[in-house]
Homo-oligomer: A and B are copies of this chain.
Amino acid sequence: MIEALQTYLERIAPMPAAEVELLKSTLRPRQLKKGEFMIRAGEISRHAAFVVRGFLRAYVIDEKGKEHIVQFAPENWWISESPGISTDQRAPYFIDALEYTDALMIDLAGHKTLMAGSPVYAASFGEGTQRKVAAKDKRIVQSLSADAEERYRDFMETYPSIVQRVPQHMLASYLGVTPETLSRIRKKATQKK
């Protein structure tokens, strides 16, 4: 299990044995069945998870009761209950499994331990955060400038593998359109081809 994370981290730099040991002692494996929750919004806890196998998603429910998917997390992605592991107390997101999933869990204390004790982890975290911010900026600009069809096409190009694995209505939720609209967009797209 840990090996998958180690491989991921070593895209930055090789990890000395001591760091790998620290990693092992800090992360806790967890399995989730399809549909099972990792965390519910409002629960007090502070975890992040690295997906070794399977597929997780994070979403919020707004005041109108509507679901909005914030992030998908297939293999080799980190996902967390809040934007980054930070100091707040309550999880703003729901996270559940779309498929059977093997994940590695880390809590706030563990995160701090690794930030202090594992340079490779710290570097990877920093880089990952930068990438995350860039992706979010892109999504913001797109939600302002692009119509539904353009957003769909861009998602297809950027994350083709995710499109395959996700039910269409969840993709619609991520893109910010209704399932009906996405269905019509896809119809149009196939006709053109």
A contacts, CB < 8 Å to B: 60, 62, 64, 66, 68, 70, 82-84, 86, 126-127, 129-134, 136-137, 139-141, 143-146, 176
Copies of this chain in the oligomer: 2
* Given A129-B133, A133-B132: A144 and B84 interface contact (C-beta under 8 Å): no
Docked complex Cα distance between A137 and B126 (Å): 18
Question: A127 — which chain B residues lie within 8 A by C-beta?
Answer: 86
Shortest Cβ distance from A150 into B: residue:
B63
Chain B residue nearest in CB terms to A60: B141
Distance in Å from the Cβ of A55 to the closest Cβ of chain B?
A: 20
Contact of A70 among B64, B84, B140 (CB under 8 A): B140
CA of A136 to CA of B137, assembled, Å: 7
Residue of B82, B84, B130, B144 near A83 (CB, 8 A) is B130
A80 to chain B, nearest CB (A): 10
Measured CB to CB, the nearest residue on chain B to A142 is B62
Q: How far is the CB of A74 from chain B (nearest CB, A)?
A: 19
**A176 and B143 in contact, given A136-B137, A137-B70 (Cβ under 8 angstroms):** yes
In the assembled complex, the CB of A176 is this many whole angstroms from the nearest CB of chain B, namely: 4
Interchain CA distance A74-B160 in the complex, whole Å? 39
